[in-house]
Chains A and B, each alone.
Chain A
Amino acid sequence: MTVGGTEVAGGAPAVSESGGGSSRAPGRPDQAVIFPTRNQYAGVVRSYRDDGFEMCADLCGVDYLSHPGRRLPQGVVAERFEVVVNLLSLSQARRVRVRVQVPESDPVVDSLFDLYPGTEAMEREAYDLFGIFFAGHPDMTRILMPEDWEGHPLRKDYGVGRVPVQFKEAPGPR
């Protein structure tokens, strides 16, 4: 199968043409969304890079724990985590979004550091906040949270914490 002129091993990744939302107004161009499997992921991104996508604009994680019934194209198995990569072609003024499913039991995907060194901080952020490991990343450590922090705060099962509201006249918690 070919993506952007380069052969990609392991079958065709699912593609969805609409990037979600309205595309009528300026500044909201349709973004092609592509759903490779974990094995295809690095190859697909590489072929896009060879195809003129010079920059990896954004990389983030999403935890779909409490929203399992999301819309995915046929053939894509929904997993708990998703890594969303936004590639940007400056020459074609075009974006493409790559969404790869990452299972909870084995949250590891290939690092894009070799392809786009600019993903270093973003992958560290995704690791820090979601606990998704990026294989081949040179420095897979926490970036925003303290080094000895436990847990990954942006996971949906990580509590937000709450301060109980105390009303003036109400009896206190005695």
Chain B
Amino acid sequence: MSDLTAAPEAHGADPQKEDGADPPEAHPDTVLPPPRSGDEFLAPGAGDEPQGLVAETSEGEQELSLRSHTEAGELRREVGAVLRLPEGVAVDPSDIDVERTDDQTMIINMGPQHPSTHGVLRLMLELDGETVLRTKPVIGYLHTGMEKTGEELTYVQGSTNVTRMDYLAPLHNELVLSMAVEALLGVEMPPRSDWIRMLMVELNRVSSHLMWMATNGMDLGSTSMMIYGFREREMVLAFFEKTTGLRMNHNFIRPGGTAADLPDGWEDDVTVICDTVMARTSEYDELLTGQPVFRKRNEGVGALSAEEALALSLTGPVLRSTGVPWDLRRSMPYLRYDEVEFDVIVGTFGDNFDRYSIRLNEIRESLRIIRQIVEKMPVGDYRVQDKKVTPPPRGRIDESMEALIHHFKVFTEGFKVPEGEVYVAVESPRGELGCYLVSDGSPKPYRMHIRGPSFVNLQGLPLMMRGGLLADAVAVCSTIDPVMGEVDR
């Protein structure tokens, strides 16, 4: 069994060897700590033989160091958590196995049509019995070329396109594009439009996290949670429908403000949502938080350290669960987040349970923000009064030919945006949602790049799954909260 611990021959040359005094590839710059899971894979009794071993390879006899002695950088690069395989090939297990004899691991595909992968995500899992060794997330099944489409649409039409990316938080997508366009235009937004936007995106955060609570509950076998989550989310969606006309893909936040003002009586609707959802979060606490089976399945599963999360560019609840207090709403405030009070929820262990608690408490914090918005909502314009950006109001069109032409021009030709580049980021429910916008002075973006938080966060999946059980893979995948529409764009 000792050969189970053999390192890959090309990369694990023993640094103690006389002729190979230099480690083959030292990575002094690797910021990652050694993987915690390294020792878990040692076969029983492997610790008795720490010197290294000799293995027969195609290049003759080679001395190998033990896996536990291999440097972190090498482990990450070659035999780390990421399974590096072409996606289409038939896999010969002897090709990929570097740790064990070839008949002990198998590769299975989870997805792309697996109900627990939250869309069309395919996970190639290398399994040793029930244990997940390496993972490769295979994405692209939902790729619809939205960045290319964005180059063909005017800035006015752009928000109808981006709103379909992260379909659980459409208002955040619209917000980030609008903010990028406004940054290039250099327009100053009226206060009421900022507050309306804040109200809408915070409600959207609540609905997105509720949806996550529902699907996460379902992944862990709690069907009641699924039904409760959808029930509460429906309240928020009903308010969205009343305000924007649609339950999803609103195209409500547009460059220059919002599409409309809030409907009459919105304060009462929002207050009812706040009261109800806040009361229901205590029910979730009772249902899940203290429940022993739920805790056992979450605590310590899929743990990640802060260094790993930072190195892998993970953001949002995944990063905060490792104890890094990074929330763009607080750290780099946009809109009017510096005028409301809220707490940034931070975890300690970076495991599934921390991510669950963070999302549950972020619902409460968002409700707290929403209550303050209801109090502080100023009166005024909901769109910037810049005639270049904002079409004339409906009433003027009936009276004035110029207004009609103006209206027609804004919606067919669009407005021209000064040349330049800008990167704007907002905190979406999943993390840093960024938009890099390049304008060449025409009414269409020259390049619109969206930095999707789930796209980047998926990179943490192999590391979080490594050494865990196959049954936990579902739970780990769920706590990243990937939305495939945004991953593939």
A: residues with CB less than 8 A from B are 19-22, 24-29, 31, 33, 46, 54-58, 60, 62-63, 66-67, 70-71, 84, 86, 90, 93, 95, 97, 114-122, 125, 129, 138-139, 141-148, 153-154, 160
Task: Return the contact of A60 from the options B187, B333, B449, B488 (Cβ within 8 A).
Answer: B449
Expressed in whole angstroms, the Cα–Cα distance for A67 and B75 within the complex equals: 43
Q: What are 6 A-B contacts with C-beta separation under 8 Å?
A: A27-B335, A28-B183, A28-B334, A62-B438, A118-B314, A148-B88
Please provide the 6 A-B residue pairs with the shortest distance between their CB atoms, ordered closest to farther.
Answer: A27-B334, A118-B313, A21-B183, A20-B420, A22-B186, A60-B449
CB distance from B120 to the nearest CB of A (A): 12
- Minimal Cβ-Cβ distance residue in B for A148: B88
- Minimal Cβ-Cβ distance residue in B for A29: B332
B: residues with CB less than 8 A from A are 27, 29-30, 32, 73, 76-78, 82, 84, 86-88, 139-140, 143, 145, 147-148, 152, 179, 182-189, 310-315, 324, 326, 331-338, 419-426, 432, 434, 436, 438, 440, 446-447, 449, 451, 455-456, 458-459, 488-489
Q: A22-B186, A24-B188, A57-B313 are in contact. Are A95 and B423 (CB under 8 A)?
A: yes
Tally of A-B Cβ pairs under 8 angstroms: 155
Decide: B456 and A121 in contact? CB cutoff 8 A: yes
Decide: B310 and A90 in contact? CB cutoff 8 A: yes
Decide: B179 and A90 in contact? CB cutoff 8 A: no
Q: Chain A contact residues: over half helix, strand or loop, or mixed? A: loop
Residues of B within 8 A of A24 (CB): 186, 188
Decide: B424 and A28 in contact? CB cutoff 8 A: yes
- Minimal Cβ-Cβ distance residue in B for A23: B183
- Minimal Cβ-Cβ distance residue in B for A162: B152
CB distance from A162 to the nearest CB of B (A): 10
- Minimal Cβ-Cβ distance residue in B for A19: B422
Q: A27-B424, A60-B449, A62-B438 are in contact. Are A160 and B152 (CB under 8 A)?
A: yes
Residues of B within 8 A of A146 (CB): 140
Which of A56, A95, A121, A146 has its CB near the most chain B CB atoms (within 10 A)? A121
Residues of A within 8 A of B488 (CB): 144
Decide: B456 and A160 in contact? CB cutoff 8 A: no
Expressed in whole angstroms, the Cα–Cα distance for A60 and B82 within the complex equals: 22
Q: A58-B436, A153-B145, A160-B152 are in contact. Are A117 and B311 (CB under 8 A)?
A: yes
